[in-house]
């Protein structure tokens, strides 16, 4: 059942200069939906339009089958968690949590009941009398979440809620928010610039750049079949290696004037219509030539030992590509390294339109394990 529907939504502050263009989107009830994109891509604006904090310039915004374009934020029955938490500094934790209920004039007994439940759920019972400045970053975050939970609004909007936390706490809160959302059956729209957050938390992700939708889909789909070069390099860390490709008679394909691949007839045919072609390959698909026979040898520019994996910077025709090998590898820089790269792992993009021509045929099947 679609819960939120955006039809041809646009936003502009000055005529002819659109911040957002032709956004069409539906979000299901109970879905964890992530809006991701670099800063300035318009993701926060879109969220704030859904919240009613920004006017919708054009298009239709529906919630629960009803058009809400003109409704005030308070009439949209939603809650919102802000990046800086927006806690009232002069109010105690308890007053902060109850702020919205008081404004909505909900009965005192109901307020106390909800406060007790929420505080317990969020582990804030002992902190109710404190002021925000007496709390740690993680505790503040929790108060902000509690304020959202206590409102019992079916839709919750979050605008980069974790970006003010340190890495460790962030990882922990990711799990907590996800659990909370499932437990309460919330529909959650979550804005972030961090693709890791997007990948790990979202049921579905929408990648936004320059005010335009790049791709909407499940995290794995975005990773395996990025619709264009932007999504390809935005999703995944380290990012996908990109190279310019030329089609040759034999062996078939030459990337960055260095890497040669054989191209079967079908591929040749598929690529012929496109003038310029760009290939992409994930760092984990530049593999050590141990199980397989080496296909190429590349100069090692830098080696980063991460303990559980080794990250290599390789020179490919003047450009730096990254390879990610599981485990620990003793490799010296400056030497040539034998690697295995399969043509099956290459994704093909049109250099002009930047659109995907053909995804890596191997990755879509077989790599995702279902248990």
179 binds another protein (CB under 8 A): no
229 binds another protein (CB under 8 A): no
Q: DSSP letter for 292, please.
A: S
Report helix, strand or coil for 164: coil
60 binds another protein (CB under 8 A): yes
Q: How many residues bind another protein (CB under 8 A)?
A: 31
53 binds another protein (CB under 8 A): yes
Give how far the C-alpha of residue 102 lies from the chain's centroid of Cα atoms, to the nearest Å.
Answer: 35
In 40-105, at which residue ranges do the beta strands (DSSP E only) sit? 58-63, 66-67, 78-81
The rounded distance, in Å, linking the Cα atoms of 91 and 130 is 8
* DSSP letters for 200-238: HH-SEEEEEETTEEEEEE-HHHHHHS-SBHHHHHHSSSS
The rounded distance, in Å, linking the Cα atoms of 53 and 278 is 41
Rg of the Cα trace of the chain?
Answer: 24
Interface pattern 75-114 for another protein (x via CB under 8 A): x--xxx-xxxxx-xxx--------xx--xx----------
Report helix, strand or coil for 66: strand
> Shortest distance, CB of residue 188 to another protein, whole angstroms?
15
Q: Which stretch binds another protein (CB under 8 A): 14-22, 67-75, 131-139, 297-305?
A: 67-75
The rounded distance, in Å, linking the Cα atoms of 371 and 368 is 10
Q: Which stretch binds another protein (CB under 8 A): 64-72, 320-328, 333-341, 359-367?
A: 64-72
Name residues contacting another protein, limited to 241-270 (CB under 8 A).
Answer: none
The rounded distance, in Å, linking the Cα atoms of 364 and 220 is 9
Name residues contacting another protein, limited to 339-368 (CB under 8 A).
Answer: none
**Where does residue 61 fall: left (phi above 0), alpha (psi -120 to 50 degrees), or beta otherwise?**
beta
> Shortest distance, CB of residue 180 to another protein, whole angstroms?
18
| Residue in 13, 24, 66, 73 binding another protein, rule: CB under 8 A | 73
| Residue in 13, 40, 66, 70 binding another protein, rule: CB under 8 A | 70
Name residues contacting another protein, limited to 9-48 (CB under 8 A).
Answer: 48
> Shortest distance, CB of residue 205 to another protein, whole angstroms?
25
The rounded distance, in Å, linking the Cα atoms of 143 and 82 is 11
56 binds another protein (CB under 8 A): yes
137 binds another protein (CB under 8 A): no
The rounded distance, in Å, linking the Cα atoms of 169 and 160 is 14
What is the binding site for another protein (CB under 8 A)? 48, 51-53, 55-56, 60, 67, 69-70, 72-75, 78-80, 82-86, 88-90, 99-100, 103-104, 147, 151
């Amino acid at each position: 059942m679609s819960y939120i529907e955006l039809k041809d939504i646009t936003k502009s502050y000055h005529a002819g200069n659109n911040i957002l263009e032709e956004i069409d989107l539906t979000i299901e009830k109970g879905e964890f939906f992530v809006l991701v994109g670099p800063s300035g891509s318009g993701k926060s604006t879109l969220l704030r339009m859904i919240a009613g904090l920004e006017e919708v310039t054009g298009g239709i915004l529906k919630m629960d089958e009803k058009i809400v374009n003109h409704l005030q934020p308070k009439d949209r029955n939603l809650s919102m968690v802000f990046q800086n938490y927006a806690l009232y500094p002069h109010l105690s934790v308890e007053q902060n949590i109850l702020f919205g209920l008081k404004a909505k004039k909900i009965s005192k007994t109901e307020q106390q009941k909800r406060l007790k439940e929420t505080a317990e759920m969020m582990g804030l019972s002992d902190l109710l009398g404190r002021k925000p400045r007496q709390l740690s970053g993680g505790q503040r975050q929790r108060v902000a979440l509690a304020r959202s939970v206590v409102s019992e609004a079916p839709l919750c909007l979050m605008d980069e809620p974790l970006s003010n936390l340190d890495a460790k706490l962030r990882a922990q809160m990711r799990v907590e928010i996800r659990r909370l959302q499932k437990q309460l059956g919330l529909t959650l729209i979550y804005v972030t610039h961090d693709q890791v957050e997007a990948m790990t938390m979202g049921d579905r992700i929408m990648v936004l750049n320059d005010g335009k939708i790049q791709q909407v889909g499940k995290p794995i789909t975005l990773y395996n079949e990025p619709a264009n070069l932007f999504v390809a390099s935005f999703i995944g860390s380290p990012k996908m290696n990109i190279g310019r490709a030329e089609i040759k008679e034999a062996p078939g394909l030459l990337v960055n004037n260095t890497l040669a691949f054989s191209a079967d007839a079908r591929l040749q045919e598929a690529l012929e219509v496109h003038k310029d072609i760009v290939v992409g390959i994930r760092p984990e698909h530049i593999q050590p030539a141990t199980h397989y026979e080496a296909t190429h040898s590349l100069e090692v520019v830098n080696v980063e030992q991460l303990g559980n994996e080794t990250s290599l910077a390789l020179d490919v025709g003047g450009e730096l590509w990254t390879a990610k090998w599981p485990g620990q590898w003793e490799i010296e820089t400056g030497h040539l390294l034998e690697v295995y790269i399969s043509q099956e792992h290459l994704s093909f993009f049109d250099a002009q339109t930047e659109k995907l021509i053909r995804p890596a045929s191997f990755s879509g099947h077989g790599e995702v394990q279902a248990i």
